[in-house]
Amino acid sequence: MSEENSTPKTTKDKKPARRFRERWRALLTPLMAIVTALILGAVVIVVTDTSVYEAFEEGFGVGLGRAVEVIATAYGAFFSGAFGNPGRMVNGLRIWIQTGDGRAWTQSLYPITETLRYATPLIFAGLAVALGFRGGLFNIGAEGQYFIAGLTTVFVGYALTGVPWFIHAPLALLAGILGGAVWGVIPGYLKAKTGAHEVINTIMLNYISFRFAEYMLDVGGPMARGDGRPVSPLVQPSARLAQFFPSNADIRFNIGFILALLAAVFVYWLLFKTTIGYEIRTVGQNPRAAKYAGMSVSRTIVLTMALSGGLAGLAASTDILGVIGFMPNAFSSGYGFDAIALALLGNSHPFGVVLASLLFGALQAGARNMQGVARVPLDLTDILQGLIIIFIAAPAIIRALYRIRTAESGEEVVMTRGWGQM
């Protein structure tokens, strides 16, 4: 509250050197947050490795050496799983240029494409929650919207036949948007008309959508494949999203990622360059003021939830049309809760959400490789994610730890005000 009285300073009237230093400082804190989380993660890895204890029994130096070795193996696998092996990339490129055989080159790109692939649905889901936050709504229901959108997408994907791809794929995507939007509009409408809290209603709708999907896909259910497995039929090839590397079946990197980036640009444009976006943000900041300014608060709430649900729906659509190709029963994604973290990490800004999703995508891809190569449980990602969120959200801890001077306080976003009373 007290900051409001201090005179606001814009970055424009400062010298370039100082501006650069401030930008660097603003970047330094999240960077050190990630580094600190990785250090703590290394401590967890070492402490839980029995071979380190055995080595310490032989002598302090041996133990220390073994500890360093364990960390190096784990994080080596982690980074090569998330970003790839530079040596292999260069080598692959060389083979491609010399012989014209690009297989080694594309295979060396596999890790980085995995990172981007994992990031794709996270971007959509993160944008969904971020948009809700901007409008003062807490959408815990991205998970449920994901399920319903999965059903609508996969239905259009397999039931429609004989349609060219440039109609079929967009239609299937649109079905996902609509499914998610409908599932988002329900709590939005209830909030606008009756004041029923969207947090309860989105949680309730999550459970309803789990059961509904279970019913639809259960053996003998309306959308089951019919071969005794609780999964939907395969989506027609015409509805599948185009792959970037169709020659390599391992790489599942598709244009869904481009769509996600476009969605982020769209949300940015909508929020900050249009009247609708202005209304969404005003209702989010101060519904009473919005009302006195002549905006329709109810309409804005419903619209925000529709957009939010639609975005969450696209997470499912791109997963199904771009990667899986069908909808399995019980495919709990966990995106709903990751999305909350992403929206918060990205400060509810579309581009912030993209960066946060890329980080989480890299953590996912890296941890999978780390589990395979160094046999460190996958769950280390959650530990790292939790720590990173804490450190980024409480920069004071990091600043105190590394004695970074406080950056001048920038514009703070009011993301959620309690339970959002109206």
Contact track, another protein, 301-320, x by CB under 8 A = --------------------
The Cα 341–Cα 140 span in angstroms is 11
Contact track, another protein, 332-361, x by CB under 8 A = -----xx-xx--x-----------------
Name the residue type at position 134: R
Q: Which of 264, 319, 361 is nearest to 146 (CA)?
A: 319
Instruction: Determine the interface stretch with another protein among 82-90, 175-183, 191-199, 256-264 (rule: CB under 8 A).
Output: 191-199
Q: How many residues bind another protein (CB under 8 A)?
A: 52
Question: Is the CB of residue 398 less than 8 Å from the CB of residue 27?
Answer: no
Phi, then psi, of 231 in degrees rounded to 5: -135, 160
Q: Which residues make beta-bridge pairs with 231?
A: 328
Question: Is the CB of residue 415 less than 8 Å from the CB of residue 33?
Answer: no
**Is 44 a residue that touches another protein (CB under 8 A)?**
yes
**Is 203 a residue that touches another protein (CB under 8 A)?**
yes
Burial of 221 (0-12, 13-18, 19+ CB in 10 A): middle
The Cα 198–Cα 293 span in angstroms is 24
CB of 217 or CB of 354, closer to another protein: 217
For residue 88, give both structure tokens: 């292999």
Instruction: Determine the interface stretch with another protein among 262-270, 286-294, 349-357, 384-392 (rule: CB under 8 A).
Output: 384-392
Give the footprint of another protein on residues 121-160 (CB under 8 A).
138, 140
Instruction: Determine the interface stretch with another protein among 94-102, 110-118, 296-304, 394-402 (rule: CB under 8 A).
Output: 394-402
What CA–CA distances, in Å, run from 140 to 204, 308, 334? 10, 11, 11
CB of 195 or CB of 294, closer to another protein: 195
For residue 303, give both structure tokens: 């619209």
- Residue from 93, 160, 204, 355 that binds another protein (CB under 8 A)? 204
CB of 102 or CB of 221, closer to another protein: 221
The torsion of the CA quartet 414, 418, 419, 420, rounded to 10 degrees, works out to: -40
Residues that bind another protein (CB under 8 A): 1-2, 44, 48, 138, 140, 190, 193-197, 199-201, 203-205, 207-208, 211-212, 214-215, 218, 337-338, 340-341, 344, 377, 379-387, 389-390, 393-394, 396-397, 415-419, 421
